[in-house]
Amino acid sequence: MRNNLEKWTTQKSSELYGVENWSSGYFHINEQGELAISPFEDKKNAVSIPEIISGLKARGLELPVLLRIENLLDGQLAKLHASFASAIKELQYKGEYRGVFPIKVNQQQQVIKEMAAAGAPLKHGFEVGSKAELVIALSYLKNKEACLICNGYKDTDYIDLALYACKMGYNCILVLEMPSEVNLILERSQKLAIRPRLGIRIKVSTHGGGHWAESAGDLSIFGLSTSDVIDALDMLKQTEMLDCMQLVHFHLGSQLPNIRDIRTAVKEAARMYIELYKEGCQMGYLDLGGGLAVDYDGSHSNFPSSRNYGLDEYCLDTVEAIMYTLDQENIPHPHIITESGRATVAYSSILLFNVIDVSRLEDRQIPEKLSEDEPESIHNLLEVYLSLTLKNLQECYNDAIFYRDEVRQLFRLGKCTLRQRSTSERIFWAIIKKIAEMTKELKTLPSALKDIHLPLASIYYCNISIFQSLPDSWAIDHLFPIVPLHRLQEEPTERVILADITCDSDGKINNFIDTHGVKRVLEAHPIEEGKAYYMGAFLVGAYQETLGDLHNLFGDTNIVSVRINTDGTFDVVHEQQGDSVADILSYVEYDPRYVFEQFRNAAEASIREGKTTPQERFQIMQAYDRILQGYTYLNE
């Protein structure tokens, strides 16, 4: 048992949840034990997240809420540019850094608008991978010097619009992704009499590791093989358009955990750049794609949810690798483009949610004595419970499972009653709890008892749909830092897994960040009767918002953007009501008015049948309409 005099502190919570490791300085626990956002160096003027929640509630916005903090997007963009600027200065590199934001990482209008505004003075452009994304980029991009990189498969309409963009003076570069695109682009360019700026996506042979390792290598679905590159160059030569080719692009994969892989791939791409230069292309840009990782678990390791490098190291290493390779051949330094997506937007969104219920193994009384007619296996279970000592933990654990299973078998054969089975389960769980408690005194834990705490974890039911709001957690077990937002000056004595409110067995989170691997349970505080308990999933600004579906017909959550002021206050700069039930029904092709009418007919019929009164019909229809017009998530 922990010494009671040893007081729990906010510092201990900070260590437990690894806040300093993953927050990049943007979040901390304040003296009141609340998670606070600190976009500025001066932590004094931070804003507490529970305070933001009260502010939103006062404005009638209920949880769950996807909170976007615009300052953090600006902050990350500024950091990225500052790191590249400092690497370029330190190494005396002759080119510039020209970042682009890949729209697919978060296409939401508020994010793109903020990215365009914060990016304009930095010449930060957009990367697009489809016609729809090109349409967005062209209407939001403010600085025409910023790059507009056109990736993805292209048809005539896509190519035509990109060519018009070139004509209008946008720094728009069409990247050849497929051998067949070369002919089509040349044809359209001749037809419209617009000379394109071209890039070429190469398949690098390096593998990136992590979840998205398949994005590179010979079998990657995008990019040109070396023979395709030669064919494309010959074709450009024949049509006297070799000078249009200006850029080499590669994408090793997203969330690259290992800096060595990045360096190797950058060198390979730089070699390709040299070759294109020597072939006569008027090269000017080397595009390193995405991949700059986010340290979601704060372990600073090459674990898939982490990275073994910092931002400064990434910038220094990539600039140095390019410079080193090109200087050997005396080739002028290109502008460096990165298509960093998650590293620019992950920090700026937090999913805020409340816990609505708890299910835990209850502490039920076990009988001191059993009657003679109870089955022998139950007697044996009680015997196991009474004989438990530190020395026989493993043996008792094995026996408990054996006798518990025996009772289950007897039940199946009709030789044991429901009450007897319930007695056996109570004794069994009492044994497991006692063993789990006693293991704390062991120096080394037998491997069979390693996960003994797991079945004892409580389930915290959270007012979210994981499929809708954290699709990567659902689909690829991606880890996000999940932390209680308040009561962090108290010791979190519960061990929990999280379940959502969809009736889906996959709607749960039972993997949590840990600096030494993955934790199967999360420490949380016991829920207090009648009081709200808030949690947050952090670093969810990249990829999570658009992938989710209408699972169980839980729709979009409320979305609120705030800007934090230097005096520690905050302004709500944009809010978007989440979907109502009527909205969701219309997405899946119902007509909410028809649905309402149908039910009204049924309510009228029940008056005719004498089951309800007209007044009751009024109340029933009000209740129906309240749900139809209301939020899809649970009301607090």
Q: Is 102 a binder of ligand PLP (CB under 6 A)? A: yes
Pairing of strands 512-514, 517-519: antiparallel
For residue 337, the minimal CB distance to ligand PLP (Å) is 10
Shortest-Cβ-distance residue relative to ligand PLP:
290
For residue 636, the minimal CB distance to ligand PLP (Å) is 34
Token digits of residue 44: 């004094």
Contacts of 560 (CB under 8 A, 6+ apart): 56, 61, 65, 66, 67, 68, 572, 574, 575, 576
Q: Is 291 a binder of ligand PLP (CB under 6 A)? A: yes
Q: Read off the amino acid at residue 366.
A: I
Please, what's the b/e burial string for 134-173 (b: 16 or more CB within 10 A of its CB; e: otherwise)? bebbbebbebeebbbbbbbebeeebbbbbbebbeeebbbb
Binding flags for ligand PLP, 142-171, as an x/- string (CB under 6 A): ---------x--------------------
Binding segment toward ligand PLP, per CB under 6 A, in 249-257, 269-277, 314-322, 464-472: 249-257
Binding flags for ligand PLP, 292-331, as an x/- string (CB under 6 A): x---------------------------------------
Enumerate the β-bridge partners of residue 321: none
Q: How far apart, in whole angstroms, are the C-alpha atoms of residue 537 and residue 246?
A: 42
Q: List the one residue from 48, 83, 246, 254 that touches ligand PLP (CB under 6 A).
A: 254
Q: Residue count at the site for ligand PLP (CB under 6 A)?
A: 17
Q: Which CB, 126 or 631, lies closer to ligand PLP?
A: 126
For residue 221, the minimal CB distance to ligand PLP (Å) is 11
For residue 311, the minimal CB distance to ligand PLP (Å) is 12
Q: Which residues ranging from 255 to 284 are in contact with ligand PLP (CB under 6 A)?
A: 255
Q: Is 127 a binder of ligand PLP (CB under 6 A)? A: yes
Q: How far apart, in whole angstroms, are the C-alpha atoms of residue 636 and residue 630?
A: 13
Binding segment toward ligand PLP, per CB under 6 A, in 133-141, 233-241, 334-342, 596-604: 334-342
Q: Is 105 a binder of ligand PLP (CB under 6 A)? A: yes
Q: Which CB, 64 or 223, lies closer to ligand PLP?
A: 223
- Residue 280 neighbours by CB distance under 10 Å: 13
Token digits of residue 591: 């007509």
Q: Which CB, 153 or 587, lies closer to ligand PLP?
A: 153
H helices present in 529-611, as ranges: 544-547, 581-587, 592-608
Q: Are 122 and 77 contacting, i.e. CB atoms less than 8 angstroms apart?
A: yes
For residue 334, the minimal CB distance to ligand PLP (Å) is 18
Specify burial of residue 612 (Cβ count, 10 A radius: 0-12, 13-18, 19+): middle
Q: Which CB, 151 or 264, lies closer to ligand PLP?
A: 151
Binding flags for ligand PLP, 534-553, as an x/- string (CB under 6 A): --------x-----------
In degrees, rounded to 5, the angle at the alpha carbon of residue 36 between the alpha carbons of residues 358 and 514 is: 60
How far does Cα 388 stand from its chain's mean position?
44
Q: Which residues ranging from 337 to 356 are in contact with ligand PLP (CB under 6 A)?
A: 339-343
Q: How far apart, in whole angstroms, are the C-alpha atoms of residue 279 and residue 557?
A: 53
Where on the chain is the footprint of ligand PLP (CB under 6 A)? Answer: 102, 105, 127, 151, 251, 254-255, 289-292, 339-343, 542
